[in-house]
Amino acid sequence: MSLIVQKYGGTSVGTLQRIRNVAARAVAAHRAGHRVVVTVSAMSGETNRLVALVDELSGGNYSQREYDVVVATGEQVSIGLLAIAIEGLGVPARSYQGWQVRFVTDSVHAKARILDVEAANILADLDQGRIVVVAGFQGVDANGAVTTLGRGGSDTSAVALAAALNADFCDIYTDVDGVYTTDPRVVPKARKLERVSYEEMLEMASLGAKVLQTRSVELAKKYKVPVRVLSSLEEGTGTLLTEEDELMEQVVVSAIAFNRDEAKITVLGVPDKPGVAAMIFGTLADANINVDMIVQNISAQSGDTDVTFTVAKGEYKQALAVLKDPVAAMGAKNLLGDPDIAKVSVVGVGMRSHSGVAQRMFKALSRDNINIRMISTSEIKISVVIDEKYMELAVRSLHEAFELDKDAGDRVRD
């Protein structure tokens, strides 16, 4: 008998029939002898409807505290309905809002972070044979105000709850049946991974793979929560997120991630003196613009330096605007930008103990005449920025170069 936390997103509870399906799945696990806690999001479209009400009412200028009061109702409706649907199948159920669990968070409304999960009441309900239904996405701060975790926060709720309950599994139900070596829409030969390490999943999430929210993976890694990514539409074993040393097939590269939602900005001919980078990135931070990759090279001839970085496409124009005057003031030669880029990354914990990955990656891209505009590496990933139009080609090329369509045992090692 396991304790299982199941998490269903908004699409999975988007209609009353789908809520019945989720109830049936939870009841099936319960009848199989498991102790079952279900975390759900708002019915799809509901959060958008609520946000639109707030926006239309306020013209975008509103108290985040009250925003949270309004949008938290989305999950509240879902948990009540799901509990009713479960009881309709003959199993006692009880719903919990964030403040009832309690999910204690900080007071940063609309993007609160979970500080503590007090789940004693949930354990008592499970002991009494109930299925427990918990609202994802929401919590309560020290003052008793309702908070929300921000978009995608339901994954984080589920993992935090699984950690607090010391659950055997945290099952995240999605519209895909697991984590793939890359997006199957780009590479039809992409393979589902049976297991993937927290670190790899973390890189993949932050590199733009949409399966799990980065924060939820960080939390799963921290508390070693066994997370399974499963399909809400069909049966299957999904993908298990696990610790590195439990990976059965120690492959070099696990997956190819990509992200076309970034834009590139270059400050050309910056005087090479202390404080210049601080000024550029301080300006962006003040404007709440997140920077992803940063590359700086010193020109041997001029003594000047070029700084290139990427930002989200949605913040590209604003970034150029806020940098214009400061960059001129510091005597830089030019400020250039390019929104038509994409980032492609190879990810794998095996890189830690294997060399030659970068070489194989660059060779593959070169073979297809794809020019590399930026390179950035971490311990377990190599990312390159290329022209956006080559993105699919690059992903396919790399997927083939690292033989990700083959079983790990059949691949050529460097």
The stretch among 4-12, 59-67, 326-334, 391-399 that binds a second copy (CB under 8 A) is: 59-67
Task: Answer whether 72's CB lies under 8 Å from 137's CB.
Answer: yes
Interacting span for a second copy (CB under 8 A) from 67-75, 274-282, 339-347, 376-384? 67-75
Print the SS3 string covering 131-197.
EEEEECCEEECCCCCEEECCCCHHHHHHHHHHHHCCCCEEEEEECCCCCECCCCCCCCCCCECCEEE
Interaction of residue 58 with a second copy, rule CB under 8 A: yes
Mind giving me the DSSP string for 308-319? Answer: EEEEEGGGHHHH
Among 32, 57, 287, 298, binds a second copy (CB under 8 A): 57
Q: Distances from the Cα of 340 to the Cαs of 40, 262, 290, 309, 390, in angstroms?
A: 37, 8, 18, 14, 10
Contact criterion met (CB below 8 Å) for 184 and 326? no
Q: Report the residue number, 135 or 176, with the smaller CB distance to a second copy.
A: 135
- Residue 85 in contact with a second copy, rule: CB under 8 A: yes
- Per CB under 8 A, 131 contacts a second copy: no
Closest contact distance (angstroms) between CB of 20 and a second copy is: 7
> Is 269 among the residues that bind a second copy (CB under 8 A)?
no
For residue 150, state whether it binds a second copy (rule: CB under 8 A).
no
Tokens of 70: 């309004």
Indicate whether 89 belongs to the interface with a second copy (CB under 8 A): no
Query: Which distant-in-sequence residues (6+ apart) come within 8 Å of 272 by Cβ?
Result: 298, 303, 304, 305
Q: Which is nearer to a second copy, 33 or 60 (CB)?
A: 60
Residue 30 burial (10 A CB sphere; 0-12, 13-18, 19+)? buried
Percentages of the chain per state (helix, strand, coil), in multiples of 5 = 40, 25, 35
Q: Is residue 16 a contact point for a second copy (CB under 8 A)?
A: yes
Helix 46-58 × helix 73-88 angle, to 10°: 150
Residue 110 is a binding residue for a second copy (CB under 8 A): no
Nearer to a second copy, 15 or 366 (CB): 15
The tokens 């400050």 sit on which residue? Answer: 267
Q: Rounded to the nearest whole angstrom, what is the least distance from the CB of residue 315 to a second copy in the complex?
A: 26
Q: Is residue 408 close enough to count as binding a second copy by CB under 8 A?
A: no
Among 63-71, 108-116, 244-252, 361-369, which window interacts with a second copy (CB under 8 A)?
A: 63-71
Does 127 sit near a second copy (CB under 8 A)? no
For position 73 contacting a second copy by CB under 8 A, the verdict is yes
Residues near a second copy (CB under 8 A) are: 16, 19-20, 50, 53-54, 56-59, 61-63, 65-70, 72-73, 76-77, 79-81, 83-85, 87-88, 93-95, 97, 99-100, 144-146
